Copies of this chain bind each other. A is one copy, B any other.
């Protein structure tokens, strides 16, 4: 298989090493409707799933939530909110409050929520997630089966990431 050749999406094992999850997790999440591949689903043994760039982004968010000790049930709600979220995700923060999810654009918005709300807030800064994901993709393309951690090159040089799904990187994070 050619690591730099086909641009038609990402297959299961590729997704696993890019996002940093196990194949069992990816499979379980696809079977339980947490996140199914948007480009092509498996139709039996031997076929292959194809994930888009935005799929990877959602998977990365899920992994971050799991690493932070958040339950998969909350991750399901987060994914649902991300899909409605629109296009400029890199500058927003995903906020989970008891029973609801929303995208906060500014820090002051979060402070307002903290003042009035009772309950626990789970907040995911999406800019960092996008950064990590792009760096992991670039590292994977340069060395698919080797050391995954490489220096962070500007992903804008790669042109098209996955056709039409690539998000333009915003510069500032504040």
Contact = CB atoms under 8 A, between A and B. Distances in A.
A168 interface: no
A49 B132 CA distance: 48
A118 B114 contact: no
A98 interface: yes
Contacts of A129: 118
A96 interface: yes
Given A69-B70, A98-B152, A120-B123, 7 more contacts: A69-B73, A71-B71, A93-B114, A116-B174, A118-B125, A120-B124, A121-B124
29 contacts: A67-B120, A68-B119, A68-B121, A68-B122, A69-B71, A69-B96, A69-B122, A71-B71, A93-B114, A107-B114, A110-B110, A110-B111, A110-B114, A111-B111, A114-B123, A114-B125, A115-B173, A115-B174, A116-B173, A116-B174, A117-B125, A117-B128, A118-B129, A118-B131, A118-B152, A118-B154, A119-B125, A119-B128, A123-B123
